Amino acid sequence: MAFARGKLTADALLRRHFEEHGRYPRALALVLWGLDNIKTQGEGVAQALHLLGVRPVRDALNRATEIEIIPLEDLNRPRMDVVMTVSGIFRDLFAPTMALLDKAVRRVAALDEPFEMNYVRRNVSEKIDLDSEEFDDAVTRVFSNAPGSYGTNVNFMVMQSEWETGDSLGDLFVTRKCFAYTRDSKGRTIEGREARDLMDHALSKVEATYQNIDSFEVGITDVDHYFEYLGGISKAIEKRAQARPAIYLSDSLSPQTKIRSLEETIRLETRAKTLNPKWYEGMLNHGFRGVAEIENHVANTFGWTATANAVDPWIYTDIARTFLLDSTMFNRLQELNPYSLRSLIKRLLEAHDRGFWNPDEDILEKLRDIIGELKDRREKAISI
Ligand code: BEZ
Ligand code: MG
């Protein structure tokens, strides 16, 4: 089932890229998470295999432990080169699956096929010619954290406003995720060898990034993990490939998988959640925690500007209008949770300071006034 669905999604992803760019991407970068692959029974893994032009084969115990090459005449398109960054949770849960993905890339790279029909072979050969690299290194495509380490820290840098340029966020992503899970020339397993140069090079070929969303319950503005991963890798690619990649997501919620650009997904989620009265009134029913949740969505939205420049300015303006410039709403938030309210205003001002949002001067002045008033009230409260 996962492979049948994964095929549809991977084909839709390539179709979308082809329609927008007139050709397939030289390479793609995929984010694979552990819990998502459990819930979907491996849809993300299946997508990666289909992009490579291989299918899983089951052993006598019904485990997908082997792969089989899909002939080019059945595939009807070139084999895609796929750089996979897997989460720490995926790495801990799915070592044999990582080995299967690594094996699939190696088998595809070794096929005697023309470059224009086999992008893995093309990119690997180019790397070998360029740097006299060994095949076993040039073919490395499965990366994760160092053993025992989790996450990218990109989310923490953004949340704490502790970053200067977008490049530093992309570099941090690579620092955290450049550990190769592969084999050496003798077939010995390598689990987490630092391979920054190899990752830098693999990313320099990437023109599209992609992640599967498995539930609307937890979307790309609900938690900071989507922007730390998909945003983080896209920012790393922007510097290494010297062009921002096309960024896509899909959902596996309905029988018809739909590919959306990151910008479309942010608009959809913002309208469905952050700016939707049904959603925020529901949150406000939870009082203190509800305001924190609204503020969280604004911060996660900001994370998508920081890492991927993917948020329309009207979104920040509508957030300011809905929660801050409407005095009834403002007073409700102030009453329920002044701490999160203050963070929300500061995040909008940060968006302006960093050049992400340029609203009318009267909006800015209002936000600065509010921050000033909140500060006065706090100081008074402390002196009492
Ligand atoms: C995972 O399931 O791999 C995962 C969960 C939360 C954040 C990041 C990754
Ligand atoms: Mg968390």
CB of 50 closer than 6 angstroms to any ligand 1 atom:
no
* Best CA proximity match to 341, nearest among 293, 295, 377, 284: 295
CB of 227 closer than 6 angstroms to any ligand 1 atom:
no
- In degrees, to the nearest 5, what angle opens at C-alpha 323 toward C-alphas 321 and 329? 115
Q: What is the pLDDT of residue 381?
A: 77
The ligand 1 atom nearest the CA atom of 229: 8
Name the token pair of 294: 């609204």
Secondary element (H or E) of residue 55 = strand 54-58
Count the Cβ atoms, other than its own, within 10 Å of residue 161: 13
- The ligand that comes nearest to the alpha carbon of residue 91 is 1
- Biggest CA-to-CA distance, the chain: 80
**pLDDT of 181-216, one tens digit each?**
999 989 899 999 999 999 999 999 999 999 999 887
- Give yes or no for a contact between 263 and 310, defined as CB atoms under 8 angstroms apart: yes
Nearest CA to ligand 1 atom 7: 225
The ligand 1 atom nearest the CA atom of 89: 3
Averaged pLDDT, 281-289: 98
Q: Which residues contact 173 (CB under 8 A, 6 or more apart)?
A: 152, 154, 228, 232, 233, 235, 236
Using 50, 70 and 90 to split pLDDT, how confident is the model at 378? confident
Using 50, 70 and 90 to split pLDDT, how confident is the model at 284? very high
Which SS3 state, helix, strand or coil, does residue 31 take? strand
CB of 99 closer than 6 angstroms to any ligand 1 atom:
no
- Give yes or no for a contact between 227 and 307, defined as CB atoms under 8 angstroms apart: yes
Convert 304-334 to b/e letters by CB count within 10 Å (16 or more is b): bbbbbbbbeeebbbebbebbbbeeeebeebb
Q: What is the pLDDT of residue 373?
A: 83
Name the token pair of 41: 């029974």
Report CA(122)–ligand 2 centroid distance (Å).
39
Report CA(41)–ligand 1 centroid distance (Å).
15
CB of 90 closer than 6 angstroms to any ligand 1 atom:
yes
Alpha carbon distance 15, 259 (integer Å): 10
Report CA(30)–ligand 2 centroid distance (Å).
20
CB of 34 closer than 6 angstroms to any ligand 1 atom:
yes
Q: Is the pLDDT of residue 254 over 80?
A: no
pTM of the model: 0.96
Mutate to test the pocket of ligand 1, among 31, 35, 223, 233 (most ligand atoms within 8 A of CB): 35
Count the Cβ atoms, other than its own, within 10 Å of residue 201: 21
Name the token pair of 192: 């987490």
Averaged pLDDT, 265-270: 97
Q: What is the pLDDT of residue 255?
A: 73
- The ligand that comes nearest to the alpha carbon of residue 214 is 1
Nearest CA to ligand 1 atom 8: 225
Q: What is the pLDDT of residue 257?
A: 80
The ligand 1 atom nearest the CA atom of 33: 3
CB of 93 closer than 6 angstroms to any ligand 1 atom:
no
The ligand 1 atom nearest the CA atom of 36: 2
Q: For 84, which DSSP code?
A: E
**What is the number of residues in the chain?**
384
CB of 87 closer than 6 angstroms to any ligand 1 atom:
yes
Name the token pair of 239: 């510097």
- The ligand that comes nearest to the alpha carbon of residue 40 is 1
The ligand 1 atom nearest the CA atom of 88: 3
- The ligand that comes nearest to the alpha carbon of residue 38 is 1
- Give yes or no for a contact between 144 and 177, defined as CB atoms under 8 angstroms apart: yes
**pLDDT of 298-307, one tens digit each?**
999 999 999 9
Q: What is the pLDDT of residue 131?
A: 87
DSSP assignments along 214-273, one per residue = --SSS-TTTSSHHIIIIIHHHHHHHHHTSSPPEEEEEE-SSSS-EEEEHHHHHHHHHHHT
- Give yes or no for a contact between 307 and 301, defined as CB atoms under 8 angstroms apart: no
Helices 288-308 and 338-353: crossing angle, nearest 10°? 20
Secondary element (H or E) of residue 141 = none
Alpha carbon distance 317, 315 (integer Å): 5
Name the token pair of 330: 């403002």
